[in-house]
A and B are shown apart, each in its own frame.
Chain A
Amino acid sequence: MKRSTFLATVLALSISAYAQDEIIVGEFASLTGGSASFGQSSHKGTQLAIDELNAAGGLLGKKLRLITEDDQSLAGQPATIVRKLITQDKAIAILGEVASSKSLEAAPICQQSKIPMISPASTNPKVTEVGDYIFRICFIDPFQGTVMSKFALEKGYKKIALLTDVKQDYSVGLSEFFVKHYAANGGSIVKDQKYSTGDKDFKAQLTSIKTTKPDAIFVPGYYGEVALIAKQAKQLGIKAPLLGGDGWVGDSLLKVAGNSLDGSFFSSHFSSEDKTTAVQDFVAKYKAKYGQAPDDMGALGYDSAMILADAIKRAGTTESAKLREAIAATKDYKGITGAITLDEKRNASKSAVIMTIENAGYKFLQTVAP
């Protein structure tokens, strides 16, 4: 009896001691599994930001500590690990995830516990609609879908076929907003095909798309499936270019797809070819630490941690209600991925870039303002 009381006291003391000299930031990311490239990159960006902040002396006189949990790209995992980060690790804020479906699982838990959550890259509108503690620092799908639709119309594509991933809220949302704008502006959708995350054979869908002879195919999926879709489309003799969104960004996209994505276009957040000094500084730091150039998710991960740090500085405390207000008041923050202002719906309004693929390499095409 005595011993257990003693243990409990020691435990309580150590937890409170620990809470006093460190600021715990929780992060959940898909470090393994089907969308591992997203989690790996965003985690690298986030870690870089935390290390930089600590090297500069931390915040409010305390060091920051990033606790990262892997959701294995599996549905059901985010809820479990975010609950752990909040209740067990006592994180003052949660950073994550890239995939909208995962963020949607974690958001209600953060909202309930009144812990601010900042998603670096979930673009589905529903994510921040969960509640006033949920933020994102990227643009949302209505904007991204409209950008791609406008681009398709400018290119003179009159007939477009869709190939949507029905298991991802991100993909379904993006298709919906693309169609809304495209159909209202005189384009016609000639085929609406679907697939599920993890599929590897798309020949059935592509065969039925091929008969409609579209000018382009809109594939708002994630890189793993998109690479195989591109490859199989070329094999089946489909010459139409593919159009997509930021879900294409992943290091295995071009490794698997090879040259089959040449001439395709996608919208995204950031280009490492951007010549501004802020971007080039970031690219240099990231390369020095990880030996590779950052992709969009790396840049967004970095920005998400920096915006949180900025809010902690302005709030002067890590108390959740005050911190929430400070994050919500973020205005014109000069991030790596552009100037970030959070609107009343806790979404960032910022510009998108359109990238193209040439000789199995990315090429920056244009920036589209909000």
Chain B
Amino acid sequence: MSPQTIEFIQQLINGLSLGAIYALIALGYTMVFGVLRFINFAHGDLYMVGSFAGWMLFAAPEDESKTGVWASLSRSFAAIPPGMTKVLLALMLAMMICAALGILIEWLCYRPLRQRPRITVLITAIGVSLFLESFGQYIWGAAPKSFPTLIEDTAIEIPESWGSIASLTLLKGQIITFCTTLGLLAALTFIVLKTKIGMAMRALALNQTACSLVGVNVNFVVAFTFGLGSALAGAAGILTSIQQPSIDPLMGILPGLKAFVAAVLGGIGNLAGAVLGAFLLGIVETMVVGYISPTYRDAVAFAVLIFILLLRPSGLLGKNIREKV
């Protein structure tokens, strides 16, 4: 293979691992939209909370002024050597913390407003987002923090005998991100399609009133959806931080926005669409940066969105449902 082909494949790998992060965040947007028909703008900040959960649990206590339970927790986790066990532990804990926070936010901020006009909830979501960003800066400070090493993010050796492919660089972080995303996606598909709660979620997406009439516990299903979506965002936070170990309380804004674009691109409310849109966005962004100029990265990403929405107003995989007048 020529060096150009190698470079192209390398960029494709970079794009896929970026897309995988977008996909995890986009799934949360799309699930909440599917069930409640509203955009949870605080979702990108849950991704930030996921990163900080990992930092609170695993960063060395003497590194920052940590006290009490966090210090003793991170002291006991420090004994685990960097590796897959540590990554999985961090993923699970961060997902649990984010799920709990997501459910709490829904219960405190969105549930009381469920019967109000949708714009009220939307504005509340923006408020929650700003609150999480500012509160994060208040307790952790605004300066970027160094994320602890969960696993050495080194390149995987490809045997020389494989020919020119050997000059490709596959980073552990990229592979873990990609595989975890696929795994979580499979788990999510199973939950939504094969379980009772998944059936309830799909039913709720169709008709909320009919659901409560046939005895579906709407509050529980909505809380479950928020928990699930937030857990995925938390996982994305940990996976990004393995690759880019510098975190700050405002890190969720841009990825949150991009993931929202990805969800709309794929057809908001559609799970497969969100993933497709996210990978597409990740690859397009990486190619623009690698071959054109990073200045145009966001411009091209949004141009793609506009173009696709012009051709298919309901997104790539979205169903075109006519609103009844």
Residues of B within 8 Å of A34, CB to CB, are: 144, 248
Closest chain-B Cβ to A367's Cβ sits at a distance in Å of: 30
Please pick, from A195, A198, A228, the residue contacting B254 in the complex, using a CB distance under 8 A.
A198
Do the beta carbons of B240 and A207 come within 8 Å of each other?
A: no
- Stretch in B38-46, B68-76, B284-292 touching the partner: B284-292
- Contact A166 B154, CB 8 Å, known A211-B3, A256-B146, A256-B245: no
A224 to chain B: closest residue by CB:
B144
Interface residues of A, Cβ cutoff 8 Å to B = 32-34, 36-37, 40, 72-73, 166, 193-196, 198-201, 203-205, 207-208, 211, 224, 227-228, 231-232, 235-237, 252, 255-256
- Contact A199 B294, CB 8 Å, known A204-B289, A252-B146: yes
For the complex with contacts A204-B14, A224-B144, A224-B246, 8 further pairs of A-B residues with Cβ separation under 8 Å are A32-B141, A32-B143, A200-B251, A205-B290, A227-B246, A231-B245, A235-B154, A235-B155
Closest chain-B Cβ to A13's Cβ sits at a distance in Å of: 37
Please pick, from A201, A203, A252, the residue contacting B143 in the complex, using a CB distance under 8 A.
A252
Closest chain-A Cβ to B248's Cβ sits at a distance in Å of: 7
Q: How far is the CA of A201 from the CA of B145 in the complex (A)?
A: 16
Closest chain-B Cβ to A190's Cβ sits at a distance in Å of: 13
Residues of B within 8 Å of A194, CB to CB, are: 293-295
Q: How far is the CA of A208 from the CA of B293 in the complex (A)?
A: 11
Task: Tell whether B169 is near chain A: CB-to-CB under 8 Å.
Answer: yes
- CB within 8 Å of A: which of B283-318? 286-287, 289-291, 293-295, 297
Closest chain-A Cβ to B177's Cβ sits at a distance in Å of: 11
Task: Tell whether B243 is near chain A: CB-to-CB under 8 Å.
Answer: yes
Residues of A within 8 Å of B7, CB to CB, are: 207-208, 211
- Contact A200 B244, CB 8 Å, known A32-B142, A34-B144: yes
Residues of B within 8 Å of A201, CB to CB, are: 14, 18, 243-244
Most buried by A among B15, B154, B243: B243
Q: How far is the CA of A224 from the CA of B246 in the complex (A)?
A: 8
Q: How far is the CA of A231 from the CA of B241 in the complex (A)?
A: 13
Residues of B within 8 Å of A198, CB to CB, are: 254
B169 to chain A: closest residue by CB:
A236
- CB within 8 Å of A: which of B248-292? 248, 250-251, 254, 286-287, 289-291
Closest chain-A Cβ to B317's Cβ sits at a distance in Å of: 26
- Contact A196 B294, CB 8 Å, known A36-B143, A201-B18, A255-B146: yes
Do the beta carbons of B295 and A228 come within 8 Å of each other?
A: no
Closest chain-A Cβ to B299's Cβ sits at a distance in Å of: 12
Q: How far is the CA of A194 from the CA of B251 in the complex (A)?
A: 20
0 or 1 for each of B95-138: is its CB under 8 Å from A? (1 = yes): 00000000000000000000000000000000000000000010
Residues of B within 8 Å of A193, CB to CB, are: 294
Number of interface residues of B (CB under 8 A): 39
B171 to chain A: closest residue by CB:
A235
Residues of A within 8 Å of B295, CB to CB, are: 166, 194, 196
Residues of A within 8 Å of B153, CB to CB, are: 235
Residues of B within 8 Å of A236, CB to CB, are: 155, 169, 171
- Contact A252 B14, CB 8 Å, known A204-B289, A208-B291, A236-B169: no
Residues of A within 8 Å of B10, CB to CB, are: 207
Please pick, from B14, B171, B240, the residue contacting A200 in the complex, using a CB distance under 8 A.
B240
- CB within 8 Å of A: which of B210-259? 240, 243-246, 248, 250-251, 254
Do the beta carbons of B142 and A36 come within 8 Å of each other?
A: yes
Do the beta carbons of A203 and B14 come within 8 Å of each other?
A: yes
- Top 3 nearest A-B pairs (CB, nearest first) are A32-B142, A204-B290, A204-B289
A-B residue pairs in contact (CB < 8 Å), sample of 5? A198-B254, A204-B289, A207-B10, A227-B246, A228-B246
Q: How far is the CA of A203 from the CA of B19 in the complex (A)?
A: 13
Q: How far is the CA of A127 from the CA of B15 in the complex (A)?
A: 38
Q: How far is the CA of A235 from the CA of B175 in the complex (A)?
A: 13
Closest chain-A Cβ to B275's Cβ sits at a distance in Å of: 19
Do the beta carbons of A205 and B294 come within 8 Å of each other?
A: yes
Q: How far is the CA of A205 from the CA of B288 in the complex (A)?
A: 10
Q: How far is the CA of A198 from the CA of B248 in the complex (A)?
A: 10
Residues of A within 8 Å of B297, CB to CB, are: 196
B147 to chain A: closest residue by CB:
A256
Most buried by A among B6, B154, B248: B248
- Contact A228 B291, CB 8 Å, known A33-B142, A236-B155: no
- CB within 8 Å of A: which of B2-31? 3-4, 6-7, 10-11, 14-15, 18
- Contact A237 B289, CB 8 Å, known A32-B141, A227-B246, A228-B244: no
B253 to chain A: closest residue by CB:
A198
Q: How far is the CA of A200 from the CA of B142 in the complex (A)?
A: 16
Most buried by A among B143, B146, B248: B143
Q: How far is the CA of A227 from the CA of B248 in the complex (A)?
A: 14
0 or 1 for each of B140-174: is its CB under 8 Å from A? (1 = yes): 01111110000001110000000000000101000
Residues of B within 8 Å of A203, CB to CB, are: 14, 286
Residues of A within 8 Å of B287, CB to CB, are: 204
Residues of B within 8 Å of A232, CB to CB, are: 244
Closest chain-B Cβ to A164's Cβ sits at a distance in Å of: 10
A254 to chain B: closest residue by CB:
B146
Q: How far is the CA of A171 from the CA of B243 in the complex (A)?
A: 25
A167 to chain B: closest residue by CB:
B295
B154 to chain A: closest residue by CB:
A235
Most buried by B among A196, A207, A231: A207
Please pick, from A72, A231, A235, A252, the residue contacting B144 in the complex, using a CB distance under 8 A.
A252
Q: How far is the CA of A237 from the CA of B10 in the complex (A)?
A: 13
Q: How far is the CA of A204 from the CA of B3 in the complex (A)?
A: 15
Closest chain-B Cβ to A209's Cβ sits at a distance in Å of: 10
Do the beta carbons of B289 and A205 come within 8 Å of each other?
A: yes
Residues of A within 8 Å of B169, CB to CB, are: 207, 235-237
Do the beta carbons of A256 and B246 come within 8 Å of each other?
A: yes
Q: How far is the CA of A32 from the CA of B145 in the complex (A)?
A: 12
Q: How far is the CA of A201 from the CA of B294 in the complex (A)?
A: 11
A72 to chain B: closest residue by CB:
B142
Q: How far is the CA of A199 from the CA of B248 in the complex (A)?
A: 12
Q: How far is the CA of A106 from the CA of B190 in the complex (A)?
A: 56
Closest chain-B Cβ to A224's Cβ sits at a distance in Å of: 5
Residues of A within 8 Å of B250, CB to CB, are: 33
Q: How far is the CA of A78 from the CA of B240 in the complex (A)?
A: 31
